[in-house]
Amino acid sequence: MPSYRAERISQQIHQQVSIMLEREMADPRLAGTNITHVQMSGDLRIAKIFVAPNRAGEQATREMMDGLAHAQGYIRRQIAGSLDLRFAPEIRFLLDHAIEKGEHFLRVLDELHAEEPSPSHIPTKGRRRKADRR
């Protein structure tokens, strides 16, 4: 279980990296990159930054991850300068598949809902209404 300090630092890193990607980065590969969450190790030496692409497609995702790998050193230096830590945390960018899984789940639910018969088509055999029970 992460400590309060690790949680607080992960929130600061989340906010700072989100701002950097939105305002400071000129790399077109990083356009539309969303930071979903940041997870700090217990010793605060590793920051796992989970990202999700805003554009669909495997090629766009690969380009985004390449752009993040290229900017990793710069992002680490910026974080080190703004946080009061003994060591600058190692930055690891990881692709977050939660959004894709959620979209898949919603598609499956929609398909199931489309296959489900409407209430007027449900047979009433064996079921009696309250008025019939009297």
Total number of domains constituting the chain: 1
- Residue 28 falls inside a structural domain: yes
Name the burial class of residue 69, with classes exposed (0-12), middle (13-18) and buried (19+) by CB atoms within 10 angstroms of its CB.
exposed
Residue 35's CB: how many other CB atoms inside 10 A?
Answer: 21
Q: What pLDDT sits at residue 98?
A: 74
pLDDT tens for the 134 residues of the chain, in order: 558 888 999 999 999 999 998 888 888 888 888 899 999 998 889 999 999 887 777 888 899 999 999 999 999 999 988 887 888 899 999 998 777 777 778 888 888 888 776 666 555 565 555 555 55
- Residue 129 falls inside a structural domain: no
Q: What pLDDT sits at residue 115?
A: 79
- Residue 29 falls inside a structural domain: yes
- Residue 47 falls inside a structural domain: yes
Q: What pLDDT sits at residue 119?
A: 61
Across the beta sheet with 46-52, the strand order is 34-40, 46-52, 90-95
> By residue range, what is the domain housing residue 49?
4-118
CA dihedral 50, 76, 26, 7 (to 10 degrees): 40
- Residue 92 falls inside a structural domain: yes
The CATH number given to whatever domain includes residue 13 is 3.30.300.20
